[in-house]
A and B are shown apart, each in its own frame.
Chain A
Amino acid sequence: GAVVSQHPSWVICKSGTSVKIECRSLDFQATTMFWYRQFPKQSLMLMATSNEGSKATYEQGVEKDKFLINHASLTLSTLTVTSAHPEDSSFYICSAPLVKGVNEKLFFGSGTQLSVL
């Protein structure tokens, strides 16, 4: 089946530094990828939708300059948390639809646990 690879699985960084998270679709092309943030005991929150070759679409309340998204190719999307602070510590998950237009089947990365000291 389709596989989405997310890297790194976990990262610890100092406050003020930037962290890049990669999301790759390994055996299919993904013109769209989704970035979620998961808080403990809460749902996945959609942060933004990345679109290959164009600007990402951010959800309300998500800072564009804080969470930089780049979808440079049909198989790679990156999320960069700029100038990270402890409140950015969270579990970040990417996903990609196998069928464009109707995300009736999403494939998810394994997630990245970010801890900002």
Chain B
Amino acid sequence: AQSVAQPEDQVNVAEGNPLTVKCTYSVSGNPYLFWYVQYPNRGLQFLLKYITGDNLVKGSYGFEAEFNKSQTSFHLKKPSALVSDSALYFCAVRDTTMNRDDKIIFGKGTRLHILP
């Protein structure tokens, strides 16, 4: 069965420093991978996705993620963190070999704190 792991409950980064939010996955076939962000009192917002092609994916708000097949990872990164990046981040995966379409599994989320 497919699964997603976000090993860190919380990540603290000083403003202006690079940030990384980790995600590893397990699927039987090829994955579709996603990152979503949840701001307080708001719904989840899509950040970026990996379907195929370049391993480095660029998304919204200056975020990017690198797909690493050998390490089954899809870490979220940003070169220079902003205080406004503080939020809850979810990694998600869809196994393309699943018979049913549109089933997506989320990680438990990582809370990102950017310190002024």
Chain A contact residues, CB within 8 Å of chain B: 4, 6, 32, 34, 36, 41-44, 46, 49, 57, 93, 95, 97, 101-111
Contacts and interface: CB of A to CB of B under 8 A. Distances in A.
Given A43-B90, A44-B90, A46-B103, A104 B49 contact: yes
Nearest to A3: B43
20 contacts: A41-B9, A43-B90, A43-B105, A46-B103, A46-B105, A93-B44, A97-B102, A101-B101, A102-B32, A102-B51, A102-B101, A103-B104, A104-B51, A106-B34, A107-B46, A108-B43, A108-B44, A108-B45, A110-B42, A110-B43
B102 A43 contact: no
B108 A42 contact: yes
Interface of B: 4, 9, 32, 34, 36, 41-46, 49, 51, 90, 94, 100-109
A111 B4 contact: no
Contacts of B108: 41-43
A97 B102 CA distance: 9
Contact of B44 (A49, A57, A95, A97): A95
A105 B94 CA distance: 12
B4 A43 contact: yes
Given A43-B4, A43-B107, A103-B94, A49 B43 contact: no
